[in-house]
Amino acid sequence: MWKMLNKSSNMLKNRSGQSLILVVLFLPVMLGMAAAGVTVGTIYYAKTNLQNAVDAAALAGAKVIADGNSSAPANQAFLVSQNDSAAQNISVQIDPNFINAVEATASESVPGGFAGIFGYHKFTVTAKGVATYGPGPAFDYAVFQGNKGQLNFNGPVNSDPGSIHSNGSINMDGSSCVVGGITVGESGSNMNGSFGGQGCAQGFIENGQIPLPQWTLQQLTPKNAITISNPGNYPSGTALNGNYVIDGNGGTVNFNGSLTINGDVLVENGSVNVDGGLTMNGSLTTYNGSINLNGSITQMSPNSGVAIAALGSSGNTENINYDGHSSFTGAIYAPDGAINFNGSIGHKNSPVVGAVIAQQINFDGSVNIQYDSQLLKSEPVQQVTLVQ
């Protein structure tokens, strides 16, 4: 019995010695793993902090460009070092790889810490942020329909240059030449004519859904505007010179004949009815009201980038209806309703310059449009989005 106990005691002593040897052998490995964990954590923290700093600078740079600051975007580089004092090689500039975008880049040297035991005395992390600016992706198209219904062209289409997009499908009943892409959000598009020759889009490309931006009343209100509370009816030959905010009182503001607008006019809580020709050097916008134009539209040279807009709140549907020939410069915008053209838009040798953007668009005549990206940059509402 005593022999067996002595033998067991000796075995335990031997195993204790073996454990000590194993601990001594693996201690450097465990210390190395701990050092690596601490170093990785330090690098991750530095990378995250630097990324947040360049993102902030890219967004700020895009915002000041959208606001018209001539010294942008380089004047926002200070935000990188302000948010990360260890940042080096800071650059904030126009991004050549994106349309209307700002790129912010920087680097940072991170101490190696325990990794210095293995010869890694410092690490370098880099970060890049890219932010775009502009009225939104819907304004990148000459014609854009936001809902998932079918966009119908009941006549020939010429868009040179200018792409066309529908979040639904597209039906073309005449010949077309679209110098740009024709993209759709869903299948089921039809071409009952021809796509045109060299340089014209040759088919429909599924490109997914693109959001339609919404604007607020505050964003649309003209600056230094004259307020009219009881508009009544205006006789033919009326001219509105300057910026106006007209309270429609839930009714319709009637222009019983031709109308000339030299400025930006907002009609709030009411519709607009024009029974003659409309000549504009500015913009006409309704908020919670539709626009009915029963004559031709000519000589439109908008100050804001938007020629005609009808918007609604609380789910209201506001439409723009044209019953004559349309020739305009700028964007026609109805994000909450439809734009109905009961006549041709532009001429082949004198196209409309701008864009047509709405939830639903109905064309009952020929369409001749030319997209102008510089013109659309002047939209009254600019969005800033981090894309990378």
* Residue type present at position 201: A
Instruction: Give the pLDDT band (50/70/90) at residue 1.
Output: very low
- Structure tokens of 108? 């940072």
SS (H, E, C) the chain: CHHHHHHHHHHHHHHHHHHHHHHHHHHHHHHHHHHHHHHHHHHHHHHHHHHHHHHHHHHHHHHHHHCCCCCCCHHHCHHHHHHCCCCEEEEEEECCCCCCEEEEEEEEEEECHHHHHHCCCEEEEEEEEEEEEECCHHHHCCEEECCCCCEEECCCEEECCCCEEECCCEEECCCEEECCCEEECCCCCEECCCCCCCCCCCCCEECCCCCCCCCCHHHHCCCCCEEECCCCEEECCEEEECCEEEECCCCEEEEECCEEEECEEEEECCEEEECCCEEECCEEEEECCCEEECCCEECCCCCCCEEEEEECCCCCCCCEEECCCECCEEEEEEEEEEEEECCCECECCECEEEEEEEEEEEECCCEEEECCHHHHCCCCCCEEEECC
Q: How many residues does the chain have?
A: 388
Lowest-pLDDT choice from 56-65, 268-277, 310-319: 310-319
How high is the mean pLDDT of the chain? 79
Backbone angles phi, psi at 304, to 5 degrees: -105, -10
Sequence-distant (≥ 6) Cβ neighbours of residue 69 within 8 angstroms: 75
Lowest model confidence (mean pLDDT) among 204-208, 278-282, 293-297: 293-297
The pLDDT score that the predictor gives to residue 2 is 42
Tell me the average pLDDT across 310-338. 77
Burial level of 186, CB count in 10 A (0-12/13-18/19+)?
A: middle
Residue 142 has pLDDT above 50, yes or no: yes
Give the per-residue pLDDT at 181.
86
In this structure, the strands spanning 122-134 and 101-111 are antiparallel
- Per-residue pLDDT tens digits for 222-241: 888 998 887 777 887 888 88
pLDDT value of position 165: 93
Confidence check: pLDDT of 372 > 50:
yes
Task: Calculate mean pLDDT across residues 254-263.
Answer: 82
- Residue 291: pLDDT band (50, 70, 90) is confident
In whole angstroms, give the CA distance from residue 307 to residue 328: 7
Q: Is the pLDDT of residue 12 over 50?
A: no
**What is the arithmetic mean of pLDDT over 372-386?**
73
Mean pLDDT along residues 177-188: 88
Global pTM exceeds 0.75: no
- The predicted pLDDT at position 53 comes to 92
What's residue 298's pLDDT? 65
| Residue 11 to residue 198: CA distance in whole angstroms | 91
The listed range with the strongest mean pLDDT (19-23, 102-106, 160-164) is 102-106
Q: Once rounded to an integer, what is the mean pLDDT over residues 98-120?
A: 78
